[in-house]
Structure 1
Amino acid sequence: MQLAFAQCNNSTFVLLTVSLLTPCEKVGKRMKMHPTTPPLKASLIVVSDRIANGIKPDHAADKAVKLLEAAQIQVVYREIVREDEAAFTIALEARLQSGDDIIITLGGTGTRRGNVVPEVTARHIAARLHGLETQVLLKGLESSPKAGLCRGVIGVSQYGHPTTLVINSAGSRGAVGDTLGVVLPLVDDIVREC
């Protein structure tokens, strides 16, 4: 926001200019809005045998897409894989290699056989964001005690920038809403140098 003063016929007027451009770059101690930065890119990996077999619709991923688009984050990839360590590892590594800013996994965070998403994710990140994981848990517990069963990991693929933010969410619409509701407001601080 900028203020400018103008004088006309012995009266002083204040002109207010507001810039709505995002994201930002540091200029000294002030933030300068940068209009040419491309939108962040996100991928979704759904880990579910029932969705892969067509038994259950993929409502959680649909909700994630809506929330990401509302945050002006471009969804560039969406995949469904079985609850299998090898299948998920291949999918996650491919998306990390693609250079996505954000990878969101849905499902595979419980205690059933094949629910190894947190373990695989932990092997592919440099730093866990335990504070965000705790915030997601607390938000989920406001709605359901089952939120405590999710073992989801949130972390970055490497220190510094560029990096990829990996977010594990349980596979329900409510879990996706809680997880992205906590994380999305902080995404620019995590993946961009502001």
Structure 2
Amino acid sequence: MNRIPGAVLTVSDRASAGAYADRSGPLAVSLLAAHGIDATLAVVPDEPTAIRRGIRSAIKHGARVVITTGGTGIGPRDVTPQVTTELLSLPLPGVVDEIRRRGAEQVPTAVISRAEAGIVTSTKRPSAFVVNAPGSTGGVRDTIAVVGPLVAHIVDQLDGGDHKP
């Protein structure tokens, strides 16, 4: 099986400043590996420019799946979904609906997540699947549980593959 190139982008003011140890990003990298995805890890502050640059850079460097962690709540600095929406050519709302549903089985506040998911297309590079995960380790586990099994099929579809049952 060919490994799929990916990226994890932790969005956190505290982690990017070194005031807080990033636990969600390394966990996402580890969980993605179990699904055949080799992901790099970067940490950026909750700033639209940094988030946009992080997602674009990951795709520029070949990532076919980009998972962001953090910034999906309703706090004043939670801007990851807005930035992601700007970049998406094709939203996939069912993906985040399922992530929220699974999360709410354990933590009722999971439904407050404003996460987005979809496809970023480019004329210069292959398309990429981008998903926002909450910054908690539980939110990352729920996200990868939904997304991990889908990635190979999504990348195959983006590359023109046939629909598979």
TM-score w.r.t. length of structure 1:
0.75
CA distance in 1, matches of 2:4, 2:92: 19
Give the match for residue 166 of structure 1: 130
Counterpart contact for 2:29–2:41, Cα < 8 Å: no
Structure 1 residue 108, shift from structure 2 partner? 0.9
Counterpart contact for 2:89–2:119, Cα < 8 Å: yes
Higher relative contact order, structure no. (Cα contacts within 8 Å, ≥ 6 residues apart): 2
CA distance in 2, matches of 1:171, 1:188: 24
More strand by share: 1
Give the match for residue 87 of structure 1: 50
Structure 1 residue 86, shift from structure 2 partner? 1.4
CA distance in 2, matches of 1:171, 1:50: 12
More helix by share: 2
Gap runs ≥5 in structure 1: 1-21, 23-37
CA distance in 2, matches of 1:168, 1:104: 6
Q: Which structure 2 residues correspond to residues 90-129 of structure 1 after superposition, within 5 A?
A: 90-129=53-92
Structure 1 residue 114, shift from structure 2 partner? 2.4
Identity of aligned residues (%): 31
Q: Which moved more, 1:98-107 or 1:165-174?
A: 98-107
Q: Residue 28 of structure 2 aligns to a residue in which SS? A: helix
Give the match for residue 177 of structure 1: 141
TM-score w.r.t. length of structure 2:
0.88
Q: Which structure 2 residues correspond to residues 145-156 of structure 1 after superposition, within 5 A?
A: 145-156=108-119
CA distance in 2, matches of 1:68, 1:90: 22
CA distance in 2, matches of 1:131, 1:89: 23
Runs of 4+ aligned structure 1 residues displaced above 4 Å come to none
CA distance in 2, matches of 1:62, 1:93: 20
Structure 1 residue 99, shift from structure 2 partner? 2.6
Counterpart contact for 1:162–1:191, Cα < 8 Å: no
How large is the RMSD of aligned CA atoms in angstroms? 1.7
CA distance in 1, matches of 2:103, 2:54: 27
1:28-51 per-residue CA deviation (whole Å, 9 max, x = no partner) reads: xxxxxxxxxx31011111100111
Aligned partner of 2:120: which letter? S
Structure 1 residue 191, shift from structure 2 partner? 1.0
Gap runs ≥5 in structure 2: none
1:7-26 per-residue CA deviation (whole Å, 9 max, x = no partner) reads: xxxxxxxxxxxxxxx4xxxx
Q: Residue 181 of structure 1 aligns to a residue in which SS? A: helix
Counterpart contact for 1:128–1:156, Cα < 8 Å: yes
